[in-house]
Amino acid sequence: MKKTSIFLRSLTAAWLLLALGGIPEVCAQTFKSNPYPVRISDIPRPTAPAELHITDLKFSDALGNQNELLDAEEAVEVRFTLVNRGRGNAYRTRLQVESTVPIREVTYAATQEIGDLAAGQSRPVVLKLQASRSVATADLALHLTVKEANGFDSDPAVVRFRSEAFQAPLLAVADAVFTNNEGEGKLVLGKIVTLDLLIQNRGQGVARKTKIEIACPPQVFPAGESTFDLGDMNPNDSKRITYEFFANKLYTGTDIGLQIQATESYGEYGFRSTQRVSLDKSLAKTQTLQVAGQQTSKVAITDVALRADVDRNIPQVGTPNPNRYALVIGNEDYASRQTGLATESNVPFARNDAQVVRSYFSRTLGVPESQIDMKLDATRGEMDQAIDRLSKIIKNTEGKAEVMVYYAGHGLPDESGEAYLIPVDVSGGNVRMGVKLAEVYRRLTEFPAERVTVFLDACFSGGARATELLAMARGVKIVPRSGSLEGNLVVFTATSGEQSALPFVEQQHGIFTYFLLKFWQERSGGGTFLDLANHLKSKVGLESVRTNNKEQNPQVLYSTGVADAWQSWIFNE
């Protein structure tokens, strides 16, 4: 009988386990997310790729006071539409949320299930955030990514917003006036007296559910309401209440003290006070209290931006210079071009870097739009062709060309330490299939030019023989000595030595690129090359330590021919 009971209990437990979905085969965990149990056998194999996009991203303060801030004790929402633009279905999608800066006293779901999304389908997604009373005033940012079970994740999106620390209300009596409506001029026992009170919120926070209660001493009686509900009072709001009372002829005091108690929802920012009137004091005759309206202080509204400040308000300066030419390359997506690479091997924000740099070249630095060649996720062939085309332009402008080249992307050294820019179709195991940096410099200076300026948001990222590219290091080892450069060439590099050039996640740029753009924005494209060098040295070094806890020190390389001249060159002259 005992063995039968044990068998039945075991059978029941097994049946319950199967009913609940069985034992998960894999505990998948990606990029600081919480463990996400997935049964591999339950995930349909893809027949075509899904392509997830986060669109219509919005910050909604409709649940709160609609000031576009996350105030203390307030709930807000981040809303977006998830769209599958691919030909294949997306399975078991889930929202992954990470803070790019420490976010304390704000509650939100780090992961949120969205579900399957068929090809061409879209679905609204709402992320709720709740701030506690202890939240601090700060600029905050959330990094949003939609993960998909077969690895077809969305590109990340960043929401930047501001939290506001708790602002306390402070209720007070702004004014108090006793009047005798009988017109006799003094408080007379047995006659009605009126107390007009002006209650004001002198704090910076909203006083919610404000209530005033007035109590009389013995032998004094209210002639009307003793409790007054004032509702919510914004900072600087004032409200008038009128209280009527009388004393009988048994009252023996020389004055009458009324106890005033003000309360609000927190139970901490009200008051208790006593308003006294003397029996001998002259009172106003049939006085009407005229209360001047108190203008409510306007709450400052802070814009919520989905783009960095340097992406907006790009200076438009002067007339394009017909002698200026530019090549802009932003290599971000390596994973989709190479088998076996995860999305972590991509270069965060390199495409955005390139696109915004192009805008500054055309609007701020005077490069005609038609003379800017931009390549996003460039292959080896595309990079070779673009560099060759620029070399031929220099050749045919008879030394008048002013050329600017910008590159954001991976790079690696070969076994001898020679640096290569890495196209998106070249793997880390075939470094020499990349574009040799020294060859780029040679081709740019093969023919005379007025000046050639190169900006490299790239660095050495951690291993000459790496078989895969790294996500957070933006990978080229820049080691050419200034004596090895020819022509009128100046190179601004993101790092020194073997440091890593890191992304500035809050601003959706590389740190080097962000402060490069900031320099041009603040000076409307002006400033000398030396000014830029000093700006990058001070800003990038500090921000890299603050943001990523790693040193990053930009440097300037230049040819011997311009050693005495480059510092005084002006960008927009």
Cα–Cα distance, 549 to 551 (Å, whole number): 7
Domain 171-285 in CATH 2.60.40.10: yes
**Alpha carbons within 13 A on the beta-carbon side of 78:** 26
Q: What are phi and psi of 146, to 5 degrees?
A: -100, 120
Cα–Cα distance, 525 to 314 (Å, whole number): 10
Cα–Cα distance, 322 to 327 (Å, whole number): 15
Which residue ranges does the chain devote to CATH 2.60.40.10? Answer: 171-285
Contact predicate 107/70, CB 8 Å: no
Contact predicate 484/437, CB 8 Å: no
Lookup: tokens for 370? 């038609």
Amino acid symbol at 159 = V
Instruction: Provide the sign of the torsion angle of the four alpha carbons 427, 429, 435, 438, taken in this order.
Output: positive
Annotate 479-510 with DSSP letters as a single string.
Answer: ---GGG--SSEEEEES-STT----EEGGGTEE
Lookup: tokens for 406? 């910008």
Q: What is the CA radius of gyration of the chain?
A: 35
Segment (H or E) for 395? helix 380-395
- Res 445: pLDDT: 95
Contact predicate 515/497, CB 8 Å: no
Distances (CA, A) of 13 to 3, 4, 18, 22, 349: 15, 14, 9, 11, 50
Amino acid symbol at 269 = Y
Cα–Cα distance, 550 to 541 (Å, whole number): 9
Which residues pair with residue 243 across a beta bridge?
195
Helix (H, G, I), strand (E, B), or coil: what is residue 1?
Answer: coil
The DSSP letter of residue 286 is: S
Cα–Cα distance, 305 to 64 (Å, whole number): 19
- Res 181: pLDDT: 56
In CATH terms, the fold of domain 23-164 is Immunoglobulin-like (2.60.40)
* Beta-strand runs (E) in 411-568: 411-413, 419-421, 435-436, 451-457, 489-493, 503-504, 509-510, 555-558
Lookup: tokens for 420? 């290569």
Cα–Cα distance, 142 to 153 (Å, whole number): 17
Segment (H or E) for 362? helix 350-363
The Cα angle at residue 552 between residues 434 and 542, in degrees rounded to 5? 150
Contact predicate 487/423, CB 8 Å: no
- Res 444: pLDDT: 96
- Res 500: pLDDT: 74
Lookup: tokens for 437? 């940096």
- Res 321: pLDDT: 94
Say if pTM beats, i.e. exceeds, 0.75. Answer: no
Contact predicate 171/232, CB 8 Å: no
Cα–Cα distance, 401 to 322 (Å, whole number): 9
Going across the sheet that includes 106-107, the strands are 52-60, 75-84, 122-131, 106-107
Query: Exposed, middle or buried, 236 (CB in 10 Å: 0-12/13-18/19+)?
Result: middle
Q: How, if at all, do strands 419-421 and 435-436 pair?
A: antiparallel
**Which residue is associated with the tokens 């409709």?**
62
- Res 475: pLDDT: 53
- Res 532: pLDDT: 96
Cα–Cα distance, 178 to 449 (Å, whole number): 89
Which residues pair with residue 556 across a beta bridge?
492
Q: Which of 130, 135, 78, 127 shows the shortest CA–CA distance to 105?
A: 135
Which CATH number is correct for 322-568, 3.20.20.70, 3.40.50.1460, 3.40.50.2000, 3.40.1260.10? 3.40.50.1460
Helix (H, G, I), strand (E, B), or coil: what is residue 203?
Answer: coil
Q: What is the pLDDT along the chain (573 residues), one digit of tens a residue?
A: 444 444 444 444 443 333 333 333 322 223 334 455 555 557 899 999 999 999 999 998 887 777 788 888 889 999 999 999 999 999 999 999 998 666 778 999 999 999 999 999 999 999 999 999 888 888 888 999 999 999 999 999 999 888 888 889 999 988 887 877 554 456 778 888 888 888 999 888 889 999 999 999 999 999 999 999 999 998 888 899 999 999 998 888 888 999 999 999 999 999 999 998 877 654 544 434 343 434 434 444 333 334 578 887 899 887 899 999 999 999 988 888 887 777 667 888 898 899 899 999 999 999 999 999 999 999 999 999 999 999 999 999 989 999 999 999 987 887 777 888 999 998 877 888 999 999 999 999 999 999 999 999 986 444 332 334 544 445 554 444 444 789 999 999 988 777 777 888 888 899 999 999 999 999 999 899 999 999 999 999 888 888 888 888 899 999 988 998 999 999 987
Annotate 205-249 with DSSP letters as a single string.
Answer: S-EEEEEEEEEPPTTEEESS--EEEEEEE-TT-EEEEEEEEEE-T
A 10 A CB-CB count for 410 gives 30
- Res 41: pLDDT: 59
Cα–Cα distance, 406 to 389 (Å, whole number): 15
Lookup: tokens for 138? 């700060």
Cα–Cα distance, 65 to 112 (Å, whole number): 26
Which residue ranges does the chain devote to CATH 2.60.40.1510? Answer: 23-164
Segment (H or E) for 440? helix 437-444
